Amino acid sequence: MVLGGILSGCGNGDSMENFAGPTMGSTYSIKYVRHAGLADSTQVRREVEDILGELDRQLSTYRQDSDIERFNALPANSCQTMPAPVLELVRTGEQLSVQSEGSYDLTVEPLMNLWGFGPQGREEKVPDAMALADVMQRVGHQHLHINGDQLCKDAAVEVDFNSIAAGYAVDTIAARLDAMGIHDYLAEATGELKAKGKKLDGSPWRIALEEPRDDQQVAERIINVDGYGVSTSGDYRNYFMQNGRRYSHTFDARTGAPVLHDLASVTVIHPSALMADGLSTLLLILGAERAWDYAEKHDIGAFFVIRADTGFVVRTNPAFERLSGAKTD
């Protein structure tokens, strides 16, 4: 998780506006510099919450009346007319699935439920082989296809946008802020964020990256961000232990099981918060070595925290150092 922006300073008659609220089972927060003639926080908040409310009605797997949950309830060989955001996210999910050779997949919700992590999960435990094999027949982006404005499936797959929905929401909010003439802001939803411009005193937005600990939030690294989305995915909060093994909520769709490698968290910085969100999950699934190779091949700025016998080891690639500006450790 990203800890958030660090505020300071004052302006020449301008003001720092900020507000926050609940969204997607977590929270959102907006901070922006209000220059003369720009909207006040009441109007901006109304715009932001309209966006979040609409996306919740379209993308949430925790409400039965959402567009995606109505689709998930359909049997195999069904189609449903979908709003543009759903279709865009399905296309993004397919792209990430293909690039990860099937490790990343949007259709893992039945697996999440089977292992106890999903919205219909009953008990966190390792499932038996027969139950797992049965569910795996309903996993795979190849069972989805788009026909015009309809999303169709040839198996009883269930789509889960949790790995990219918040990033998409942040990009949508950022675009709305830009359209309102607000160009100095930090927009965050459920830990995914995008920052642009400067703070009130002209200094950059500084973002604290969280050390992967269960007991408290500790800043591992502080970076400067201007014009980029930042997303962190980790396996250190949502997990269970069984027979001495640690099972997290991060799944490899090829195996149908949680990943068991030593990569604890990945932070990605990218022009798109949507892509930062999806790529941080993709890299976490791949594990330290495969993720490093993938990030280098695709020039993705990535910050890796890896478990070692003595604690955690941090590894960053050149793209991350280039994009994150001056840093304070």
Q: What is the model's pTM?
A: 0.89
The Cα–Cα gap between 64 and 72 comes to: 9
More confident site: 12 or 108: 108
pLDDT of residue 223: 93
Q: Where are the alpha helices (DSSP H) in the chain?
A: 41-59, 67-72, 84-99, 109-115, 129-136, 165-179, 273-286, 288-298, 318-323
* Distance linking the first and last C-alpha atoms of the chain: 17
Q: Where are the alpha helices (DSSP H) in 180-287?
A: 273-286
pLDDT at 213 over 70: no
Q: Which two tokens stand for residue 243?
A: 């027979």
pLDDT of residue 216: 46
**Average pLDDT value over all residues in the chain:** 88
More confident site: 11 or 174: 174
pLDDT at 174 over 70: yes
Window from 39-48, 114-123, 265-274 with minimum mean pLDDT: 114-123
pLDDT band at 258 (very low <50, low <70, confident <90, very high): confident
pLDDT of residue 236: 60
Q: For residue 321, count other CB atoms closer than 10 A to its CB.
A: 13
The Cα–Cα gap between 162 and 271 comes to: 20
pLDDT of residue 113: 87
Q: Which two tokens stand for residue 253?
A: 């769709």
pLDDT at 209 over 70: yes
pLDDT band at 12 (very low <50, low <70, confident <90, very high): low
The Cα–Cα gap between 104 and 294 comes to: 13
pLDDT of residue 241: 73
Q: Give the model confidence (pLDDT) of 35-79 as tens digits.
A: 988 988 999 999 999 999 999 999 998 899 999 999 999 999 999
pLDDT at 141 over 70: yes
Q: Which two tokens stand for residue 30?
A: 């907006």
Fold for 65-153, please state it: T-fold (1.10.3980)
Q: Which of 147, 142, 129 is nearest to 256 (CA)?
A: 129
Domain extent listing, the chain: 65-153
